Structure 1
Amino acid sequence: MQDLHSRLGAMRRPRLLVRAARIGASEYRRRPHLARLLGEPCPPQHGAALLQLMELEEMLDDGRQRRAADYSAAQHVELLAAIIGEARSLQVAARPSTGASA
């Protein structure tokens, strides 16, 4: 199984979707967005939330590629923005803290 960073790096989506998602990610707020997207309280860990979001996004992207009638570009952008937001939070959480040494 690929790790999260590999899976994120392997994602290929249309530039317009990604550009819109990056703009949306600047307004990303974890609790309200995850509650709306996942339909449940937000997972405490960024990795768990990211996996759930990526699974939903893969299904939505499949609908985009099939040109499904129920595909929503707005929902796709919202999911991608949440993925970007969670990935950024995961990256920040993974950084070693640089405490002041005495």
Structure 2
Amino acid sequence: MSSTHADSLLNALAELTALRRPRLMLRTARFGTLDYQRDTDLRRILRLPATPAPGVATLRLLMELESQHEALRTRPPQEIGNPWRATRHIEVLIALIAEARLLAEAVTPAT
């Protein structure tokens, strides 16, 4: 792994650990990772014709999508626009956590 790729991965994981979300949402998402099926769920969540390869780019896509859902969740109630959907937000969080774990396992040396 090149040092720039490793730096990019570490930066993405650091950004991910800095996210602050309601405890109930995170607990629900962590529990949901038990049923996460990468091939079908990730393709559906990202609305892609094929499942993307694991990597920083996929993690970044999920982080951007989650950020959009968070903006919907925290916007003032009087604003008009797309409604926040808790189930969709949780699905994105599930995929984000599962993909981050997948990447972390890939770079963690086996003991």
Query: What is the alpha-carbon distance in structure 2 between the residues aligned to residue 18 and residue 25 of structure 1?
Result: 11
- Equivalent residue number for residue 22 of structure 1: 30
Change beyond 3 A, Cα 1:61–1:15: same
Q: Does residue 9 of structure 1 match 2:17?
A: yes
Deviations 1:4-62 (A, max 9, x none): 11111110000110011011011111110111011112221332211101100000000
Match of 1:64 among 73, 80, 86: 73
In 1: Cα distance, 2:24 partner to 2:67 partner? 17
Task: Note if 1:77 corresponds to 2:80.
Answer: no
The answer to whether the 8 Å contact 1:50/1:86 transfers is: yes
Q: Percent identity?
A: 40
Does residue 94 (structure 1) correspond to residue 107 (structure 2)? The answer is yes
CA-based RMSD: 1.8
TM-score under structure 1 normalisation?
0.86
Q: State yes or no: 1:54 paired with 2:63.
A: yes
* Stretches of structure 1 lacking an aligned partner (at least 5 in a row): none
Between Structure 1 and Structure 2, how many residues are aligned? 98
Distance 2:20 2:89 in 1: 13
Q: TM-score scaled to structure 2, two decimals?
A: 0.80
CA distance in 1, matches of 2:41, 2:108: 24
Query: Residues 54 and 99 of structure 2 are in contact (CA less than 8 Å); yes or no, is this contact kept in structure 1?
Result: no
- 2:40 paired residue among 32, 36, 41: 32
